[in-house]
Amino acid sequence: DKRIRACFLRFFADLLVGYRCCLEVIRVYTPPLIVFHKSAFLGLRQFSSCPLIRAFLDSLLFQSFISERGLPFRICDLFDELVAQISEQSNDQLASRTTSIENIIEIAEKLLENERQEIPFSVTPFVTQQRFTVPFSSTKLRLLNNDLVSQSIKRKLKTTSNNVAPVLCPRRVQATPWIIAREERMGAVSRRLQVLSSCLHHIFDFKLSDARKIMCAVELSMRSVNARVAFCQLLWKNLVPINRATLFPQQFELIVRLMNCALNVHIFAK
């Protein structure tokens, strides 16, 4: 039973690696509003073409999961530790069957250990659930022996000290390192595309001095396939209105310079 639960726990932990990088907490409201960026998660995990993952992210179960576990500072459990552990493993370790089986057995042992640590508790019945008879005659209570009471307390503490459940304190939820690195790379790519767009706007608006200042940075960004594709798309968009398609010699020179750079990089990349 514990191994089956461990399989489900590992499956969802592997599926939701990096979900915390796509959360936005708005603390203006009480309680805080937690927004999950589904498109960012699908792009980071390359799940864009998977309809099953899209349906799962749109489900009410996932929305309740985000509302319960979205805060960055809360009580963490085995699922949070498992997500952080999977994110630190390499692709070879994740693809290894032996590593996965060992991890499932380890999770099952932790689940069994957590179940054994649960202390049964008794519920005291309400006063209205029982009938009490209060004697009218005053009775004298016996005097208790302080030594016997203290010995009984110490004996009880020794037997229950090992069974006391640990106190769970809230702490900061660990973020996935490889998702953070990928976010940084995506941020660098987006800044390069922004510089490329600004350079082309300067050229077509005849602000040639501003375009020449960032020309070197744009030529370096042409090493990326995304930058070359974006360059072609921006050239096509600038054909509208049609009067921008007619270039002066200085504008034409800069456009041809960028096209020549993109073609050279593309040829050497092959």
How far apart CA 261 and CA 84 sit, in angstroms, is: 42
Confidence check: pLDDT of 123 > 60: no
What number is the average pLDDT over the span 5-14?
Answer: 91
* pLDDT recorded at residue 223: 82
Q: 252 pLDDT exceeds 60? A: yes
Residues ≥6 apart with Cβ < 8 Å to 228: 222, 262, 265, 266
Minimum mean pLDDT range among 47-56, 71-80, 81-90: 81-90
Length of the chain: 270
Comparing CA positions, the residue from 230, 166, 169, 168 lying closest to residue 199 is 230
pLDDT band at 100 (very low <50, low <70, confident <90, very high): confident
Percentage of residues of the chain with pLDDT beyond 90: 12
pLDDT value at position 185?
Answer: 60
User: Across the chain, what does the average pLDDT equal?
Assistant: 79
Give one word for 132, left, alpha or beta, with left for phi > 0 and alpha for psi -120 to 50.
beta
